[in-house]
Amino acid sequence: MTADNLFIAGATGHTGRELVRLASEAKLPTLAHVRPDSPKLDEWRDLFGSYGATVNDTPWNEEALRSSLRSLAPAIVFALLGTTRTRAKRESTTHGTTINYEAIDYGLTAMLFRAASTLPQPPRFVYLSSTGVPADEPQPSSYMHARWKVEQLLLAGPLPYTIVRPSFIAGPGRDEPRAGERVGALLIDGALSVAAVLGGRRLSRRYRSTTNTALATALLRIGRDPSMSRRIVESEDLR
């Protein structure tokens, strides 16, 4: 195992690509995972290659992932994956299979965790969850339910983990503009500024939006800090 070599699943996402850039900038050996059927695989190879990172295109198959991870022996595995309702609907239609939070946000993250759990040198598993994941099983929200299930898996599993729970992730450069998230972040940040003035500073710190760059910076710091192992990091501690 090379000290601090990283495997980043969800590398093509808004947060993941910043983590790839920042880790490469810090001269850490960085493996950016891109699904092999990505229509932009060559573009990702060019971009991540220009940063100094290496693209890994192992298919989302447990045996294949296990075998790749064994040969790569990462010290830290980042799980930054997730779909959205709009994407899930579109991909379900295109692929003729059910794509949803259960299949992607839980299913693929759990697959990665199981594969990483078989490594002789256990890597740190850093999981990007979300603020508001409850201690008990949430009923109505399939988004929260998927995150709660992953968190339970990590808490009971064999790997040293870090669970990171950000609030809204803003910042320029999203591939698909998410008007709802942008407006939500603006409204919440505005309301929280008022709450802070009125004394709700803790509430304000927890739910204020972050940017993909600030979050990736925090993920890199937290992932490499041994004292953050087996910890849940709330959004107010990410700044």
Ligand X SMILES: NC(=O)c1ccc[n+]([C@@H]2O[C@H](COP(=O)([O-])OP(=O)(O)OC[C@H]3O[C@@H](n4cnc5c(N)ncnc54)[C@H](OP(=O)(O)O)[C@@H]3O)[C@@H](O)[C@H]2O)c1
Contacts with ligand X by CB under 6 A lie at 10, 12-16, 35, 38, 60, 80-83, 91, 99, 104-105, 108, 128, 130, 166, 168-169, 181
Nearer to ligand X, 38 or 50 (CB): 38
* Interacting residues of 169 by C-beta distance below 8 A, sequence separation 6+: 14, 15, 181, 209, 210, 211, 212, 215
Rounded to a whole number of angstroms, the minimum distance from the CB of residue 199 to ligand X is 26
Residue with tokens 């320029």: 172
Alpha-carbon span 28 to 6, nearest angstrom: 7
Which residue's CB comes closest to ligand X?
A: 13
Rounded to a whole number of angstroms, the minimum distance from the CB of residue 53 to ligand X is 14
Rounded to a whole number of angstroms, the minimum distance from the CB of residue 148 to ligand X is 13
Rounded to a whole number of angstroms, the minimum distance from the CB of residue 52 to ligand X is 19
Nearer to ligand X, 43 or 198 (CB): 43
Alpha-carbon span 204 to 210, nearest angstrom: 12
Nearer to ligand X, 187 or 227 (CB): 187
Nearer to ligand X, 1 or 40 (CB): 40
Alpha-carbon span 56 to 35, nearest angstrom: 8
Alpha-carbon span 65 to 81, nearest angstrom: 15
Rounded to a whole number of angstroms, the minimum distance from the CB of residue 131 to ligand X is 7
Q: For residue 173, give the amino acid letter.
A: G
For residue 135, the SS3 value is: coil
Nearer to ligand X, 61 or 120 (CB): 61
